[in-house]
């Protein structure tokens, strides 16, 4: 490498890691820089609950500070919390994890996924992602030298995974499949037949499955199912979940990973060296969340249901076809009837209609004729936003 000389010295910018330099900045962040400078704008762009953390949970965190529980915890996390997590997974999904060996508390699903990927993916390995998908996946995989291979899904197919398309995307270098149901950004769930087909492929081809189920507590009529419940899949699945969305605890940075011992042993080494442990205060608060906050979670879910019904109807009435999400708090309407691409639509809507939405293209190529709108916002704001969108569409 030839260094550019600045004032007779080597340019330190050239020392930055290539993998880090190569990843693009988050499309969402760039867009929101414009949003913040637009007054009177309603944002349907935010990917976090608008509810504050239920008070009983925050209170427990405050007491943890007052009582001096402000030190490192075991690397894996507090045993009491791990035991609660394990019991919860068993109750919901019928899969048993040993809290001593198969559960690690992490700093959100974000860190859990990072160390899970690093435990499995070698330089040059391929990981299947299902697009449109959460913006971080491709970057997370690329940062560790892996290659993200996208399987596109489409609104016309209910965003279901076409198994033939998935099989075509596999190669001898495929190491893993990354799933996220309910999905950000589409809100779709996965049906049992598709889960079974993917499980069969994973077992036959000896692949790992990463299953990001962070929205599993925010599901509507169809409930939630997980690949880990399928016989033979616990051995090759990294189950990821957390408190950010379910308990409106995004700022507490708390999640967890459950997986087979051989995999968790390796993942834990990375966690020990790079993070030590998840925040102690958040872990104490999460114990309260797991023990006593079911009513609050139910309340948030029923509020999301009300808003979902309103926003889905609003988009369809405005002439933008919109599927009703099975889970999470996003809708992903089709804006192709307007003749605009998703970026152009989002920018024009922001400037003239003062509503911020996320252009669907940031979630993958196949999302370009959509926008993502979050209904984690007050009913009043959602009503006003829909009125503005309807008016904007009529001007096109
Ligand atoms: C699908 C998905 N996974 C993970 C995350 C990050 O979760 P956490 O706050 O637990 O790191 C998000 C946040 O928006 C998400 O949408």
Per-residue pLDDT of the chain (396 residues; tens, 9 = 90+): 555 566 667 888 889 999 889 988 776 766 777 788 888 999 999 899 999 999 999 999 999 999 999 999 999 999 999 999 999 999 999 999 999 999 999 999 999 999 999 999 999 999 999 999 999 999 999 999 999 999 999 999 999 999 999 999 999 999 999 999 999 999 999 999 999 999 999 999 999 999 999 999 999 998 999 999 999 999 999 999 999 999 999 999 999 999 999 999 999 999 999 999 999 999 999 999 999 999 999 999 999 999 999 999 999 999 999 999 999 999 999 999 999 999 999 999 999 999 999 999 999 999 999 999 999 999 999 999 999 999 999 999
Instruction: Name the DSSP class of 179.
Output: E
Residues with Cβ within 8 Å of 363's Cβ and at least 6 positions away in sequence, in order, are 131, 132, 133, 134, 135, 185, 372
In a mutational test of the pocket of ligand 1, which residue from 129, 244, 275 has the highest number of ligand atoms less than 8 Å from its CB?
A: 244
Cα separation, 109 vs 254, in Å, equals 7
Compute the distance from residue 283 Cα to the ligand 1 centre, in Å: 18
CATH topology of domain 68-292: 3.40.640
Compute the distance from residue 257 Cα to the ligand 1 centre, in Å: 13
Q: What is the pLDDT of residue 46?
A: 87
CATH topology of domain 5-52+295-394: 3.90.1150
Compute the distance from residue 89 Cα to the ligand 1 centre, in Å: 18
Q: In 3D, which of 222, 221, 215, 147 has the Cα closest to residue 191?
A: 222
Residue 367 phi, psi dihedral angles, 5° rounding? -95, 5
250 near 338, Cβ under 8 Å?
no
Residues 311-338: tens digit of each pLDDT: 999 999 999 999 999 999 999 999 999 9
Q: What is the pLDDT of residue 9?
A: 72
Residue 359 phi, psi dihedral angles, 5° rounding? -60, 130
Q: What is the pLDDT of residue 219?
A: 97
Q: Which residue has the tokens 């989002």?
A: 346
- Sorted by where each begins, the domain ranges of the chain are 5-52+295-394, 68-292
Q: What is the pLDDT of residue 222?
A: 85
- Of all atoms in ligand 1, which is nearest to the CA of residue 180? 1
Q: Which residues line ligand 1 (CB under 6 A)?
A: 47, 108-110, 134, 180, 184, 212, 214, 242, 244, 250, 255
Q: What is the pLDDT of residue 6?
A: 60
Compute the distance from residue 111 Cα to the ligand 1 centre, in Å: 10
Q: What is the pLDDT of residue 1?
A: 53
């Amino acid at each position: 490498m030839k260094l550019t000389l600045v004032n007779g010295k080597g340019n330190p910018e050239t020392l930055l890691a290539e993998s880090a330099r190569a990843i693009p900045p988050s499309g969402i962040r760039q867009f929101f820089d414009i949003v913040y400078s637009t007054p009177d704008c309603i944002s349907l762009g935010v990917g976090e609950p608008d509810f504050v953390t239920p008070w009983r949970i925050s209170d427990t965190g405050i007491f943890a500070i007052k009582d001096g529980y402000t030190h490192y915890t075991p690397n894996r996390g507090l045993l009491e919390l791990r035991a609660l997590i394990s019991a919860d997974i068993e109750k919901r999904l019928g899969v048993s994890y040993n809290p001593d060996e198969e559960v690690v508390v992490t700093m959100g699903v974000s860190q859990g996924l990072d160390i899970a990927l690093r435990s499995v993916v070698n330089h040059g390995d391929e990981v299947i992602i299902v697009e449109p998908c959460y913006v971080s996946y491709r970057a997370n995989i690329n940062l560790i030298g892996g290659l993200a291979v996208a399987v596109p899904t489409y609104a016309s197919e209910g965003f279901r995974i076409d198994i033939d398309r998935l099989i075509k995307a596999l190669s001898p270098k495929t190491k893993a499949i990354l799933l996220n149901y309910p999905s950000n950004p589409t809100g779709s769930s996965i049906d049992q037949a598709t889960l079974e087909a993917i499980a069969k492929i994973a077992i036959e081809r000896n692949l790992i499955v990463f299953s990001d189920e962070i929205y599993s507590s925010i599901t509507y009529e169809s409930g939630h199912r997980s690949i880990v419940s399928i016989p033979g899949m616990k051995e090759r699945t990294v189950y990821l979940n957390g408190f950010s969305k379910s308990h409106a605890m995004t700022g507490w940075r708390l999640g967890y990973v459950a997986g087979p011992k051989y995999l968790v042993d390796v993942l834990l080494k990375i966690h020990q060296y790079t993070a030590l442990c998840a925040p102690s205060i958040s872990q104490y608060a999460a114990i309260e969340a797991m023990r006593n906050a079911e009513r609050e979670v139910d309340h948030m879910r029923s509020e999301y249901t009300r808003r979902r019904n309103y926003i889905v109807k609003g988009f369809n009435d405005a002439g933008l076809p919109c599927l009703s999400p099975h889970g999470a708090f996003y809708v992903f309407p089709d804006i192709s009837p307007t003749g605009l691409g998703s970026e152009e639509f989002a920018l024009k809507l922001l400037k003239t209609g003062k509503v911020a939405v996320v252009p669907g293209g940031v979630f993958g190529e196949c999302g370009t004729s959509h926008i993502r709108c979050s209904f984690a916002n007050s009913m009043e704001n959602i009503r006003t936003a829909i009125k503005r969108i309807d008016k904007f569409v009529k001007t096109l």
